Amino acid sequence: MIFTPTRLSGAHVIDVERHSDERGFLARTFCEQEFAEHGLPMRIAQSSTIHSPRRHTLRGLHYQEALNSEVKLVRCTRGSIFLVMVDLRPRSPSGGDWLGVELSSRSLRLAYVPEGFAQGYQTLEDDTEVLYHMSHHYVPEAARGVRWDDPAFGIEWPPVEERIISDRDRAWPDHHPASGEP
């Protein structure tokens, strides 16, 4: 695996290395020891798959509050997405900054989203599937979010005529940087 730090403190993009022969290829997408050697501790407590039948579906920006915060390892297993992560940590050198990266089933690229980040994505193709590994189990009472179009972040989502967004995701509040919480 090739670990590339991003401009957001602690966030990484991970490219897998394919080992091919006449049968196809093998590509390792996770190794606890290798992640730790790169300073990226990752305990997998839960994995989830999300399917979106239509392109331009936007999910996010989600996180869990502090006592239940989680690291997410995200991979697109079918189709493609524009993944966005936002550093919500109040004392982080990249606090309030965002990063967008395309993940696709063709590239096999993963995104390492640290604790204290909100994360979401927009599908770029119909019939898209995303695999999440999380370091903490889902706690409904700790689920939080910030609005996908919050002007505090200025996220440049891929342009579309109409996005498919849940009422819940439309209702998330704006982020208030001084407190580190929405």
Between vectors from CA 79 to CA 161 and to CA 112, what angle results, nearest 5°?
100
Q: Is 62 a catalytic residue?
A: yes
Residue from 132, 133, 136, 137 carrying the catalytic annotation = 132
Say if residue 61 is preceded by a cis peptide, omega within 30 of 0.
Answer: yes
Q: Is 51 a catalytic residue?
A: no
Residue from 38, 62, 136, 138 carrying the catalytic annotation = 62
Active-site positions read 62, 132
